[in-house]
């Protein structure tokens, strides 16, 4: 199987930004890019509600237009298109299984409540074990993607848990930071147990010791990865507060945020965890979601 990246497109500004991001990433990785459209995508203002033949012509024209725009962006990039007769979550999850990375557009809660992340993105993410990147468009819906990225890159942020080490998450984050030659910020949000934090007799020495212990645990977690990726500049950030809120705050000056999700064996519902859910909806930066056991 030929390695490649896949981007789901539906003609919306969000999907065009996602396709542009995917093209930049494919060029960075020296891999081909595949653009995929599923015919049963939910109706929107970008899609005419017409008969099957007109719908197919529209989707083919849209795919060709997006591909041509991306070829101008990266003249040497190999780009193919594929139109599928299936519901997007099923079609995209199958495509993701064949790709190194799946890229989707996301409106986020600040604009239209959970459109792609809810009706398409969330089921797709839950149905694949491949990394998925969600990309948000500019503030104005009619904005076009910026010029192709050539570097230097801003920081990459990865959310970690010192109590639940995750090799897949850290491998993806370190590999991506090494490829981009950027700083990697490993963020862990923590707090003292409520019953302890509210104890008026708890002195500052105990709080400092607790913070020092968290710092040591974070350093121990990252040490083997620092050794494996000596070229990556790593900044450890053990921040007091909600992990989701801290990651969203750190995303304001980052180029990519990497978070994990547990692979669910239960068929009941599509869940990605509260922290990842919060970050995907509110992060201004693209979010990479890495599945792990």
Question: Mean of the pLDDT values across residues 53-73?
Answer: 92
- Better-predicted residue by pLDDT, 267 or 274: 274
What whole-number percentage of the chain has pLDDT above 90? 53
Question: CB within 8 A of 272, min separation 6: which ones?
Answer: 122, 125, 126, 261, 280, 289
What's the pLDDT tens digit per position in 71-106? Answer: 999 999 999 999 988 788 888 888 999 999 999 988
- Better-predicted residue by pLDDT, 174 or 165: 174
CATH 3.40.50.620 residue window(s) in the chain: 5-135
Report the C-alpha gap between 151 and 154 in whole angstroms: 8
CATH 3.40.50.12370 residue window(s) in the chain: 155-292
Mean pLDDT value across the chain: 84
Question: Mean of the pLDDT values across residues 218-246?
Answer: 96
Question: Mean of the pLDDT values across residues 223-249?
Answer: 95
Report the C-alpha gap between 237 and 24 in whole angstroms: 28
- Give the pLDDT band (50/70/90) at residue 274: confident
Question: Mean of the pLDDT values across residues 282-292?
Answer: 92
- Better-predicted residue by pLDDT, 198 or 208: 208
Which of 74, 131, 73 is closest to 272 using CA atoms?
131
pLDDT exceeds 50 at position 115: no
Q: How far is CA 285 from CA 14, 21, 34, in A?
A: 13, 11, 23
Please tell me the CATH code under which domain 5-135 is placed: 3.40.50.620
CATH class held by domain 155-292: alpha beta
For residue 109, the model assigns a pLDDT of 43
For residue 199, the model assigns a pLDDT of 55
Report the C-alpha gap between 191 and 241 in whole angstroms: 6
What's the pLDDT tens digit per position in 186-196? Answer: 999 998 765 45
Report the C-alpha gap between 230 and 124 in whole angstroms: 35
For residue 176, the model assigns a pLDDT of 98
What's the pLDDT tens digit per position in 15-29? Answer: 899 999 999 999 999
For residue 110, the model assigns a pLDDT of 43
């Amino acid at each position: 199987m030929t390695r490649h990246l896949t981007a789901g497109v539906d003609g919306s500004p969000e999907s065009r930004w996602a396709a542009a991001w995917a093209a930049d990433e494919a060029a960075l990785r020296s891999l081909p890019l595949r653009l995929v459209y599923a015919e049963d995508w939910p109706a929107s203002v970008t899609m005419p509600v017409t008969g099957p033949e007109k719908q197919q012509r529209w989707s083919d024209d849209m795919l060709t237009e997006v591909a041509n725009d991306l070829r101008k962006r990266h003249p040497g990039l190999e780009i193919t298109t594929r139109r599928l007769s299936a519901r997007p979550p099923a079609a995209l999850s199958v495509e993701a299984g064949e790709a190194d990375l799946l890229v989707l557009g996301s409106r986020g809660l600040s604009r239209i409540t959970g459109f792609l992340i809810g009706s398409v993105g969330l089921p797709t993410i839950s149905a694949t074990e491949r990394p998925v990147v969600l990309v948000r468009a500019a503030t104005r819906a009619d904005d076009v993607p910026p010029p192709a990225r050539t570097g230097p890159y801003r920081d990459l942020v990865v959310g970690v848990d010192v109590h639940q080490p995750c090799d897949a998450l850290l491998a993806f984050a370190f590999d991506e930071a090494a490829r981009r030659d950027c700083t990697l910020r490993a963020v862990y949000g923590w707090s003292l147990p409520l019953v302890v934090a509210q104890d008026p007799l708890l002195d500052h020495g105990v709080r400092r010791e607790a913070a020092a212990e968290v710092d040591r645990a974070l350093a121990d977690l990252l040490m083997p990865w620092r050794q494996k990726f000596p070229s990556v500049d790593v900044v450890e950030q053990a921040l007091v507060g909600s992990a989701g809120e801290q990651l969203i705050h750190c995303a304001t000056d980052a180029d990519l945020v990497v978070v994990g999700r547990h692979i669910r064996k239960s068929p009941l519902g599509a869940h990605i965890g509260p922290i990842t859910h919060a970050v995907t909806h509110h992060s201004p930066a693209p979010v990479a979601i890495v599945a792990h056991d």
